[in-house]
Amino acid sequence: MNPADHTYVPPQAKASSTLPAELVAYLDGTDLLAKMQALRISTVDGEGWPHASLLSAGDMVAMPSGSLRFAVFAESTTAANIQRDHRVTVTFAHDGGMGEVRLTCRRLTDAAAFPTIALFEAEPLSARFHLAPYATVRSGITFQLHEEAPALARWQRQIEALRAAT
């Protein structure tokens, strides 16, 4: 097959109750200033439409138990969607393509240090990987911080709160 041909290649599905190793490494809570790929989380709104949010490696942490914890604004559409429908999809650039993990969430006890933030824990249900034979994903959505020091300090406190939450 000519790599320029435009043909459908089904995603490689992996029914797994574990997070992909690359995502665990990216969301280990370390070296945050080097991790500037935003991760897209998708929820389902009250009308059944997809709702996208972008989170950073400072808003999420992979736990030793295999779950994924993340923080969103408590008053956000994302938090309301998760409270109503516990399904979340996390999408990220992966190995020349796109990785997608389906998870089911529960709300954790909020951290007193972050009164406007809702903490969630998500258990992976499955992972899919999308590759196109004619193109390579070179990066995901990336960002640049305006002020690194305050963002890094907040991210580190958030990750500590996520790890400690029950």
Burial of 162 (0-12, 13-18, 19+ CB in 10 A): buried
Instruction: Enter the tokens of residue 37.
Output: 């790929």
CATH superfamily of 12-164: Electron Transport, Fmn-binding Protein; Chain A (2.30.110.10)
Over residues 27-70, the pLDDT tens digits come to 999 999 999 999 999 999 999 999 999 999 999 999 999 999 99
Burial of 31 (0-12, 13-18, 19+ CB in 10 A): exposed
**pTM score of the predicted model:** 0.88
Residue ranges of domains in the chain: 12-164
